A and B are shown apart, each in its own frame.
Chain A
Amino acid sequence: MGKETVIPFGPQHPVLPEPIHLDLVLEDETVVEAIPSIGYIHRGLEKLVEKKDFQQYTYVAERICGICSFMHGMGYCMSVESIMGVQIPERAEFLRTIWAELSRLHSHMLWLGLLADALGFESLFMHSWRLREQILDIFEETTSGRVIFSVCDIGGVRKDIDSETLKKINSILDGFEQEVSEITKVFLNDSSVILRTQGLGVLSQQAAFDLGAVGPMARASGIDIDMRKSGYAAYGRLKMEPILETAGDCYARTSVRIKEVFQSLDLIRQCIALIPEGEIKVKVMGNPKGEYFTRLEQPRGEVLYYVKANGTKFLDRVRVRTPTFANIPALLETLKGCQLADVPVLILTIDPCISCTER
């Protein structure tokens, strides 16, 4: 035809907070082909186990990604604990769950903001991020870090939350819920947002399964995958149902995440109500030997940690399969035939975390 436009999209691009590159082949503005190129953040973290001992690696694991940093630390610790056969105190399980759900809140709020930004809805972006700061404050108060917490340790957690603070968290979350429900209404009801998200990037249930989608991406297409149902940490003692949508478009993915925000609020409240008194950490002695696969539900979906230890201080292998890695095939599928203006929106609806993906 000769009417094709080929342009680079990324690695540096104002709508991309993280570097990923696409060769976009357009006709007018319609994407005919999108060929990805990754590796801009590839550092080689898995290989770092050869240089850091298994205790130090906790801190490396947390820095796999700065957004779900808590979950990464937790997943790694859980794997090592499982290998070593350590049963951590119940209070620690609950604290981990609270922080995990707070992480989900902060991640989803961040995502909502970025989505609004990709849609060109600046005020919504600002307000989402403003509300997110409340969660970060809770984090800072309880874990002493804003985005990277270093609070999870092998054998439990390093900091406790006293009951006073738990109450305070409860009241902060009440105010938060009220304000969030105000702006999430905009995401779900405003016509200009719906115009941009509804019917965009549709992934049918079959396609989502065939492409191995995980997390909200899969749940928005009606696939019931939620690792929290497996009952790790304290989830076994909480009431929760995975949130499912069937449309499989960007709107459904937004809707799933928004509902998960409220679900997380609910889970945190349940935890605060149920949390037992007790120790927060057991002492871990010796070195791990054995292997274990741990699977958790991150804000972005299912994550898999595979740890293999040989009885020395240094582990044989740590393998992390992050949710974004699993969602990339689905993203490429949805990009076909979309508009150039939709590219950032579609990239965002998988909630990409490139630094997780490339490690």
Chain B
Amino acid sequence: MAQQTINTISANELLAYALRLKNTNHRMVAISCTTVENGIEMSYSFDGGNDFINLRFIAGPEDEIESISSIYPYSFLYENEIKELFGVNITGITPDYKDKLYKISVKTPFNMKEGDK
């Protein structure tokens, strides 16, 4: 079983970490998120062949998270999805689907209270 490394970072370090991982030939595996009490817990998973690294931070409802699509272009789908479904304020995604990735019958993002947005 591969090692489960979870590095807790702060949101504004994300790009620096991502760049470092990119330079050491890590590929991005997934971006996951979980609703926790004080915001959304974000996990960025990277794979470097032998090691499996997760970057973890909590995005508060007001926080602006910068997209890593400039470093890992294929992150756009993950980021768009998370932005649309969980309402994490990710900025600078290319291409930005502007919350129109899915057409959903209920109101999104889920953690919004009634009447928001």
Contacts and interface: CB of A to CB of B under 8 A. Distances in A.
A241 interface: no
Interface string B47-79: 100001010000000000000000011101110
Interface in A65-103: 82
A39 B102 CA distance: 5
A308 B34 contact: yes
Most buried by A among B30, B34, B103, B110: B30
A42 B102 contact: yes
A292 B54 CA distance: 11
Contacts of A308: 34
B101 interface: yes
Interface in B65-104: 72-74, 76-78, 101-104
Interface size class of B (residues with CB under 8 A): 20 to 34
Given A47-B110, A304-B45, A308-B34, A295 B29 contact: yes
B27 A295 contact: no
Interface residues of A, number: 31
A293 B76 CA distance: 21
A302 interface: yes
A150 to B, nearest CB: 25
A230 B1 contact: yes
A39 B29 contact: no
A126 B1 CA distance: 40
A293 B77 CA distance: 20
Given A212-B72, A321-B32, A325-B77, A39 B4 contact: no
Contacts of A358: 102
B4 A293 contact: yes
A104 B3 CA distance: 26
A211 B32 contact: no
Contacts of A313: none
Given A39-B103, A42-B104, A358-B102, A319 B32 contact: yes
A302 B29 contact: yes
B74 A293 contact: no
B28 interface: yes
Given A39-B102, A293-B52, A295-B52, A306 B77 contact: no
Given A39-B102, A317-B34, A321-B32, A210 B73 contact: yes
A329 B106 CA distance: 28
A306 to B, nearest CB: 5
A247 interface: no
A147 B116 CA distance: 43
A210 B4 CA distance: 24
Given A293-B54, A295-B2, A319 B30 contact: yes
Contacts of B27: 209, 212, 225
Most buried by B among A44, A209, A293, A329: A293
A306 B32 CA distance: 8
A304 B29 contact: yes
A38 interface: yes
5 contacts: A210-B73, A212-B72, A225-B27, A295-B2, A358-B102
Given A225-B47, A293-B45, A321-B30, 12 more contacts: A39-B102, A39-B104, A44-B104, A295-B29, A295-B47, A295-B52, A304-B30, A306-B43, A316-B34, A319-B30, A319-B34, A328-B77
